[in-house]
A and B are shown apart, each in its own frame.
Chain A
């Protein structure tokens, strides 16, 4: 951590990511010779097959050639055709002076909103690569960058991994701008800050950091920015790259940063004084800092009645413990503490296990691993047959395994309960860590029974308590206890009682009401 922060200071992201281009382009300026400009661009891009170069004559000045360059598929072609090429090629009246023409183009011939004059070749190439069109006119030492980003993209659809019954159906898309707009639309606050970074030496991925000035803890913003700037990687393809590059520690199965596909969840977190990191190319937005309890809260908790939400949170806690401990408890009860099971059940269990040739730990490990395989396979399976195979796997194989005497019927129930419980967790990345931790618990239970389980829980607890996410203790507000914040952890109180923001995230302005 320390080393990383030291590195942060010496280098700046912008310099580094542009170094690559620098090597090729240098600080070359736009030349007055049109052909030379075109040649240069196509050379920089290595005669890219998707580079479209449209040369044309401007109707105003028939002696003057011009060229529009854009990358096929990255730009909005109808826009360029109708509002760039058509006016230039069709609108008459001649103009003599060179500079006059260049001004005229900007004054009346370019019918697009986002246009910019540019002399640096380097930034022109950058714009070209990010989907804008560039325009050169013969005899001008300036080029124009025309904002025409318009590639094929998925529309705003349901968030797949975080569906709710009540609440917005919009989910983030792969487009950074659409995503920032989705947030802005919900948060019309002039204090909403958005800072852009380009991360990834080669991918030049756009990354936006959003927060509400005055609500957020400035130290955390600085920490996030420092860590973002320190990233040295050639490519950022998903927010997961960023997550791992900036998290506090790698030696934990628990996520230190939350991610969401839901704009409403992102806004709710911004309002709590957290920071959103949006990465171009992925619908998963990062939220930092994160604490343990928020992985067990669903956006819906805040939309449904508070009593129901509180009940659901309790239920999720039970599901969490079930997913983590049930197989371990099964092993502990079967092989260490059968006296704790009601006698009738114990007899039934003994009968069920009588034909099983393995000790319970092997039985449980085999079943749990098979279910994990099944789960993994059902993600890969082609859509329509996925559920079918799931049912076949779970029911048919389970049933067959029982009648073949490989596993006991109770084990099948245990595995089923465990699997289903782990799906009750609203956030996938926290659920997956529980799946991983289940196995050590099973092994410990097989060695020391309930005592072993408790000892491992102690170790797990101390690990969780040690963790921090951007300086915020991971188990807060439970340890350290902040009574005022418990209102939104295990329980959710009605909204009128939540007039203060959680102090856990040290907000600059802790009152929710009475602000402008």
Chain B
């Protein structure tokens, strides 16, 4: 297996996903297959190759520092299920 069960569990936690034991099994098998497949890239020597993060080489795209009206709060909040006093509401957080 290219990836272990415990690694799958760790990655799930990082990604904030919850799986049943069966799903963990299934993902371990499937991800292992996919990782084996993508490991094909290791056939290539890329030692002296620069990575390409942006395919079109442009830079310095800015906006001017100008204030424009924000959106109506009703619209900002309209898709939230839990809200109170103009705020989004989440479970109590103890800091």
Q: Are A and B bound to each other? A: no
Q: Which A residues are within 8 Å of any B CB, using their own CB?
A: none
Q: Which B residues are within 8 Å of any A CB, using their own CB?
A: none
